[in-house]
Amino acid sequence: MNMTTELCDSPAMRLAVQLAGWLALGLLIAAPYRAVAASCSGEALVDVTLPGGARWELCWELRNEEGVVLQEVSYQAPGSPLRRVLKEAALAQINVAYDDGSTSKRQLTDPAAGLGNNIHSLAGTDCPGGTLHQDNGSAVLCVRVAPRGYAYKSYVNVKQGNLLLLESRSTIGAHSYIVRWNLYDDGSIEPRVGMSGSLPIIGSNANHGWQLDQSNRIGVGFNTSYFFRLDFDLDATNNNESVEEFTVTPSTDRLEKSLSVTTLTTETARTVSPNLKRSWRVRDKTGGVTNSDGRSISYHLEPLHTAHRYIGSSSESWAQNDFWVSKYNSCERFVVDNPGTGGCASDINGFLNDENIDGADVVIWYKINYHHLPRSEDEPEVQLHWDGFFIVPRDWTASNPLVSLIIHPQAGTPAAGSA
């Protein structure tokens, strides 16, 4: 007998399918939700339903410094309501520091810099199978649906997934950047930046880089720090958020690991910790929106590339941490070189004033780094390198939104197909 047919004919499976249908109709939603609709239209609106039924809706605008800024980002899981995730998301600085001590570049705020000031006009060949969105008559944003490979795979069940890709391109001096936001069908969001262009500095001191040819030309190494600003508004509410820090601590013999979850009550700065697997989530506080199991909806920031860290010189205190959380202030836009208008601080350290953030409108600032040691293969054009991270739904739904089969294993029971 075919295993899949036998499973589908079982009473448990028929009940699971029936429950899935109820969920699709919204009959098991445990807490009220606020239907949200984007406030923009025309070129500024992106509203795409992916194969399989997941939907993303958002607005965008082009700014001189940040380039493309996402706004009112909402996700709809198959069979679930449309819910707001982010009020706004953008790069908040790109800092390039050179190994030979040359003056660092701040690619958003230096004179003649800015992703928007230096954005490329895109052609159809830059966006195969997608749609080009315009700003002031110039096509600057590519929006397209792309396959992402397996959404899940077990012995019996397998599903290919899709994502919505938003991409813009800018060249600032020697450096070219591809800024990409991958919005997955499971609700995950992956901000990414691809760096290419030409090698910015050719020197002669081998201590500062790598020999490129027999004439002793040295490609000077450099570190790129990407700072992101994420203004969360879960389910379109902006004053009911809580930030929690997760750590996983090994026992003395390192055979067991213990999870600790701590609420961050005031504005703070933190560093990544690969040994403790430190991560953070933003959740709707008690009394807010829950999934059908009664758990608060949330999004979890998962650090990825933590091997390369940049803490800056003694004059760059704004670079010495990796994660910051602050209470929303409209004038706080850039991690460094922030405009001082209206009494606003000039960098991230000045944004943190021990204000209460538990049950407030919170902004997450997150830094990722990559140290580029040049190679001969980086001439005449630097080979493209990607850096990014994920924010993923945690308890946004009661189970995998892409799977129609509802399974809740008992505690201590191996998952199906495990050995």
For the four alpha carbons of 191, 301, 71 and 30, in that order, the dihedral sign comes to: positive
Q: Report if residue 403 sits inside a domain.
A: no
Per-residue pLDDT tens over the stretch 222-265: 999 999 999 999 987 778 899 999 999 999 998 999 999 999 99
Mean predicted confidence (pLDDT) in 123-133: 97
Q: Above 60 in pLDDT, residue 159?
A: yes
User: Is 317 inside any structural domain?
Assistant: yes
- Give me the mean pLDDT over the 38-58 stretch: 96
> Is the pLDDT reported for residue 111 higher than 60?
yes
Q: Which domain holds residue 235?
A: 31-394
Contact 20, 53 (CB under 8 A): no
Bridge partners of 91, per DSSP, are 228
Q: Give domain status of residue 415, yes or no.
A: no
- pLDDT band for 22, please (50, 70, 90 cuts): very low
State yes or no: pLDDT of 15 exceeds 80.
no
pLDDT at res. 14: 44
In what helix (H) or strand (E) does residue 387 lie, and over which residues does it extend? strand 385-388
The yes-or-no verdict on residue 287 having pLDDT over 80 is no
Give the separation between CA 352 and CA 264, rounded to whole angstroms: 13
| 17: in domain | no
Q: For strand 222-232 and strand 362-372, is the pairing parallel, antiparallel, or unpaired?
A: antiparallel
pLDDT at 415 > cutoff 90: no
- The pLDDT value recorded for residue 407 is 52
**For the chain, first and last CA: distance in Å?**
23
Q: What is the pLDDT of residue 405?
A: 53
Comparison of pLDDT for 158 and 280, the residue scoring more: 280
> Is 418 part of any domain?
no
The stretch 47-51 carries a mean pLDDT of 97
Answer for the pair 321, 340: CB distance below 8 angstroms, yes or no: no
In a domain, 21, yes or no: no
6 part of a folded domain: no
- Nearest-angstrom CA–CA distance, 184 and 75: 9
CATH number at residue 46: 2.70.98.20
The number of folded domains in the chain is 1
Of residues 321, 317, 351, 314, the one with CA closest to residue 334: 351
Query: How many percent of the chain have pLDDT more than 70?
Result: 88
pLDDT at residue 8 tops 50: no
Return the H-helix or E-strand segment holding 3: helix 3-9
26 in a domain, yes or no? no
Model confidence, pTM? 0.88
| Closest by CA position to 110, among listed 334, 407, 352 | 334
